[in-house]
Amino acid sequence: MNRVYNFSAGPAVMPVEVLEEARENMLSLGDTGIGVMEHSHRGKPFVAVAEQAEANCRKLANISDDYAVLFLQGGASTQFFTVPQNLLSKDKTADYLVTGSWSKKAVKEAKLFGNVNVACSSEDRNFCYIPKECSYSDAPAYVHFTSNNTIFGTQFATEPAGPAGAPLVCDASSDIFSRPIDVSKYGIIYAGAQKNLGPSGVTLVIIRKDLIEQGPSDLPSMLQYRTHANNDSMFNTPPTFGIFTMGLVFKWIEKQGGLAGVAQKNAAKAKPLYDYLDGSSLFKATADQDSRSLMNVCFVTGDADKDAKFIASAKEEGFDGLKGHRSVGGMRASIYNAFPAEGVTALVDFMRDFEAKNG
Ligand SMILES: Cc1ncc(COP(=O)(O)O)c(C=O)c1O
> Residues 145-179: pLDDT tens digits?
999 999 999 999 999 999 999 999 999 999 999 99
Topology annotation, domain 257-358: Aspartate Aminotransferase, domain 1 (3.90.1150)
pLDDT band at 197 (very low <50, low <70, confident <90, very high): very high
Distance (Å) from CA 79 to ligand 1 centroid: 10
* pLDDT at 275 exceeding the cut of 90: yes
Sheet with strand 284-285: strands edge to edge: 284-285, 296-300, 331-334
Determine the pLDDT at residue 337.
Answer: 98
| Residue % of the chain over a pLDDT of 90 | 99
pLDDT band at 1 (very low <50, low <70, confident <90, very high): confident
Determine the pLDDT at residue 131.
Answer: 98
Determine the pLDDT at residue 159.
Answer: 97
Q: Out of 102, 175, 252, 269, pick the active-site residue.
A: 102
Q: Out of 95, 175, 195, 251, pick the active-site residue.
A: 195
Indicate which residue's Cα is closest to atom 2 of ligand 1. 173
Asked whether the beta carbons of 58 and 80 are under 8 A apart, the reply is no
- The partner residues of 97 in beta bridges, in order of sequence, read 120
Determine the pLDDT at residue 209.
Answer: 98
**Any catalytic annotation for residue 195?**
yes
Residue 54 three-state SS:
helix
pLDDT tens-digit map of 224-259: 999 999 999 999 999 999 999 999 999 999 999 999
Asked whether the beta carbons of 50 and 71 are under 8 A apart, the reply is yes
pLDDT tens-digit map of 286-307: 999 999 999 999 999 999 999 9
| Residue % of the chain over a pLDDT of 70 | 100
pLDDT band at 359 (very low <50, low <70, confident <90, very high): confident
CA 302, CA 214: separation in Å to the nearest integer? 49
Q: What would the mean pLDDT of 186-190 be, rounded to a whole number?
A: 98
What are the sequence ranges of the domains in the chain? Answer: 16-255, 257-358
CA 359, CA 354: separation in Å to the nearest integer? 8
Distance (Å) from CA 83 to ligand 1 centroid: 15
pLDDT band at 279 (very low <50, low <70, confident <90, very high): very high
Is the shortest distance between the CB of 76 and ligand 1 below 6 Å? Answer: yes
CA 270, CA 334: separation in Å to the nearest integer? 10
- Per the prediction, the chain carries an average pLDDT of 98
Write the CATH number of the domain with boundaries 16-255. 3.40.640.10
pTM: 0.98
**Any catalytic annotation for residue 171?**
yes
